[in-house]
Amino acid sequence: MLDTELDPIEGKAVAVKLKELGVRGILVTMADKGYIIELACAMPECLCPIELGGRSYFEPTAPGLSDWMPTADHFPRLRKDGGHLDVDNVRLAHRLCNRVDYSKAIGRSYSRDLARVDSARRGAVLLALESGATLKVVVWNMNHRSGRRNWGLFEKGGELACDIALLNEAKSPPTDVSLRVRSDGTTVGRDDVRHGGKKIRQWATAVASPHDLDQPRDVWALPPGTQDRRSKLVASRPGSWTAAVVSVPGSKPVTVVSLYGLLDERSDASVHRALSDLTPLFEDRRYNRLLLLGGDLNTLCIGQVGSARLARDQGVLDRITRGFGLVDLLREHIRINDPERGPLKGCKCSLGDECRHTWTYRKSRASTIPYQDDYLFASRTLADRLLTCTALPFSASWPSDHAPLVATFR
């Protein structure tokens, strides 16, 4: 039970809430007598995702035995040790928190239970993101090793179903995928065998959507007054970026670019090369008013303040934001929706209180060190319509070393 003085007045209010959740028995009795004065999970480690409501979130009791329904936990004496459901040996707990705590006590594996927590967190994030949204965008490095299997996540009803997907390391989709997809299919870098190197990349950047896709057919690359201002977009590294124009219902066409920081040279050089290819598009008023740019830039920004390494990584981001006037939507989300967040916990950057990174990349499946090298940028007109932009949490079974970025717009 909770370590607190008896308060029957507060307790009776909790008892009413417990009854509304379908709870009967010892928990209601304890609340009525003032032993439980707060509807909150009393476990040392509450596993209920904060996105759902954390310790204070409970679901009604039901035959399906919800993970987050209230249960009576034997404490401090376990039932296996002779403990009973008495007022001095019970605390309120979520069913799953209760189960995991007991598994720890008896040495039983609980990895599947933790996977259920991750699944609940992802579901809560996605539900919150979609509330009130008219446009949903996903940015994701699919992991080319499982890229073909991951396409199903974007189908209607899939976990990552959206209006626009900007994808990296994308293999050609299976023939039964219903989405419209633009991609070169393969990536040709400086280290490709056709250029005397050793690599063959059977994957590339891609743009996918359930809506009609077109390509920017020409752009105005030269100043006014020039006889022929048009220019065809050509990739210096075919497959390292893909541009498209998406006809979203209820909206003017949106220009989108999926960009990958190709590691055929220094990643900042690769991104700069791509940005130079794309400069005419970014400056063409027919395309740049509603524009999105996203992908895995392989730009970690973890060098020491004042170092050349950090300056080069930051230079990539500054060229996009200051040079082309695009807005970093992950930072914009924090500014709007979580202004008190502060630095990313555990981040390896040297920016101190100025850090506003988001965890998007892990170096191994078991790693808990947060890195960011995935980004989504938007023109100011689109950024002004932003509702949310965040990275989905990692889980043990997630099929990529990158987390999807999910943004929604009015």
Q: What is the dihedral of CA 299, 304, 309, 312, to 10 degrees?
A: 70
Residue ranges in the chain whose pLDDT is less than 70: 1-5, 128-129, 131-132, 147-148
Rounded CA-CA distance 250/252 in Å is 7
| Per-residue pLDDT, 1 | 41
User: Which DSSP symbol is given to 321?
Assistant: I
Comparing CA positions, the residue from 253, 251, 236, 241 lying closest to residue 195 is 236
Q: What is the pLDDT of residues 125-150, one digit of tens each?
A: 777 667 667 899 999 999 988 766 78
Return the C-alpha torsion angle 224, 226, 232, 238, nearest 10: -90
> Are 83 and 159 in a shared domain?
no
pLDDT at position 77, please?
77
Same domain? For 366 and 249 the reply is yes
pLDDT of residue 147: 64
Q: How many residues does the chain have?
A: 410
176 and 36 in one domain? no
CA distance 261 to 265: 9
Residue 120 lies in a domain: no
Looking at the fold, whether 151 and 97 belong to one and the same domain comes out as no
Do residue 219 and residue 295 come from a single domain? yes
Output the pLDDT for position 2: 43
Examine the domain organization and report whether 80 and 139 are in the same domain: no
Where is the domain boundary, 75, 108, 141?
Answer: 108
Please say which residue of 50, 74, 108 terminates a domain. Answer: 108
The per-residue pLDDT for 5 is 64
- State whether 160 and 97 are in the same domain: no
Residue 100 lies in a domain: yes
Q: Do 69 and 29 share a domain, yes or no? A: yes
Domain containing 78: what range? 8-108
Task: Give the model's pLDDT for residue 56.
Answer: 87
97 and 191 share a domain?
no
- Domain identity same for 181 and 44: no
DSSP assignment of 131-185, as one string?
Answer: TT-SEEEEEEE--TTSHHHHGGGGSTTSTT--SEEEEEEEPPPPTT--SEEEE-S
Query: What's the pLDDT at 125?
Result: 78
199 shares its domain with 318: yes
Q: What is the pLDDT of residue 50?
A: 79
**Pair (13, 148) in one structural domain:** no
Number of domains in the chain: 2
